[in-house]
Amino acid sequence: MSLDPDFAAALAKHSMEIDEAIALQLQQYVQVMWRWNEQLNLTRHTTWELFVSRDLRDCLQLAVLLEEGEEVLDLGSGNGIPGIPLAILRPDIEVSLAESVAKRAKALSEIVGELGLPVAVYGARGEDLLEDFRFSTIVSRAVGSIAKFCRWVEPHWASVDRLLLVKGPKWVEERGDARHLGALANLQLRRVATYPLGDEESSEGVILQIWPSGARGKRFD
Ligand SMILES: C[S@@+](CC[C@H](N)C(=O)[O-])C[C@H]1O[C@@H](n2cnc3c(N)ncnc32)[C@H](O)[C@@H]1O
């Protein structure tokens, strides 16, 4: 298999230098996922330009924030973003995917199976998994507001060290709502990455880290 010229051109346009073996695995993921997209509504990003400038950019930003050996849960994985590219970019971490819609979870299982990735896929609500499993980091994109996430995880902070949420420009408004609702009480929130999104220079992506205040979350303070 060789690199699709449109994928290579999009990587070059966005100045992303990615090892060829890794780029080929990413390409295989996208091609298999786009195949499933013909039957299921998994993504609207159906060009290499959109995959690179939106999806891959978010995943690369997350990848550098994860420590070696982390156990990571992608909550609300849908089409596999960010969990599957993270598993490809960072083979030293352990990635699990949670997707509550059964047919999407089944497609994700087929995709990771076809790619031969050591990724567990759970057809379940991510917050319910925290009853039985422990993760160092929950990553998530386009699943719920900050307030919603805090509520979901609130009873389970013993099972997770931190959240890394990929957000768009509305994050400030969401943070305000979460504060107003008291959802951020006893939690710390820090913006740990800011980057331009797509071709629109005015549009920014951010990654928010949320962790418990006090002794439990001390190492992130
Ligand atoms: C808009 S899609 C986002 C997919 C992908 N993360 C992305 O960024 O493109 C949201 C997905 O999260 C799933 N979802 C929503 N709430 C969830 C929960 N609590 N646990 C697991 N999956 C959930 C939905 O079924 C849907 O597939």
Total domain count, the chain:
1
Residue 146 lies in a domain: yes
Q: Which residue is listed with tokens 């346009």?
A: 13
pTM above 0.90, yes or no: yes
Neighbours of 95 (CB within 10 A): 29
Of 145, 207, 204, nearest to 179 by C-alpha is: 145
Going by alpha carbons, the residue nearest to atom 22 of ligand 1 is: 76
State the distance from the centre of ligand 1 to the C-alpha of 108, rounded, in angstroms. Answer: 12
For residue 217, the model assigns a pLDDT of: 80
Residue 219 lies in a domain: no
Task: Compute CA 24 distance to the chain's CA centroid, rounded to the nearest angstrom.
Answer: 20
Q: CA separation (Å) from 201 to 57, 71, 206?
A: 14, 34, 14
Which atom of ligand 1 approaches the CA of 98 most closely? 21
Residue 217 lies in a domain: no
Which atom of ligand 1 approaches the CA of 101 most closely? 25
Q: Is the CB of 96 under 6 A from ligand 1?
A: no
Q: Say whether 76 counts as a known binding-site residue.
A: yes
Residue 126 lies in a domain: yes
Residue 53 lies in a domain: yes
State the distance from the centre of ligand 1 to the C-alpha of 192, rounded, in angstroms. Answer: 22
For residue 201, the model assigns a pLDDT of: 58
Q: CA separation (Å) from 74 to 15, 122, 127, 214?
A: 26, 10, 11, 25
Residue among 56, 97, 100, 143 whose CB has most ligand 1 atoms within 8 A, to mutate? 143
Domain residues for 73? 5-212
Residue 190 lies in a domain: yes
Which atom of ligand 1 approaches the CA of 58 most closely? 8
Q: Is the CB of 175 under 6 A from ligand 1?
A: no
Please report, in tens digits, the pLDDT of each residue of the chain (221 residues total).
Answer: 899 999 999 999 999 999 999 999 999 999 999 999 999 988 999 999 999 999 999 999 999 999 999 999 999 999 999 999 999 999 999 999 999 999 999 999 999 999 999 999 999 999 999 999 999 999 999 999 999 999 999 999 999 999 999 999 999 999 999 999 999 999 999 999 999 886 655 689 999 999 999 877 888 88
For residue 197, the model assigns a pLDDT of: 82
Q: Is the CB of 53 under 6 A from ligand 1?
A: no
CATH code, domain with 196: 3.40.50.150
Neighbours of 213 (CB within 10 A): 14
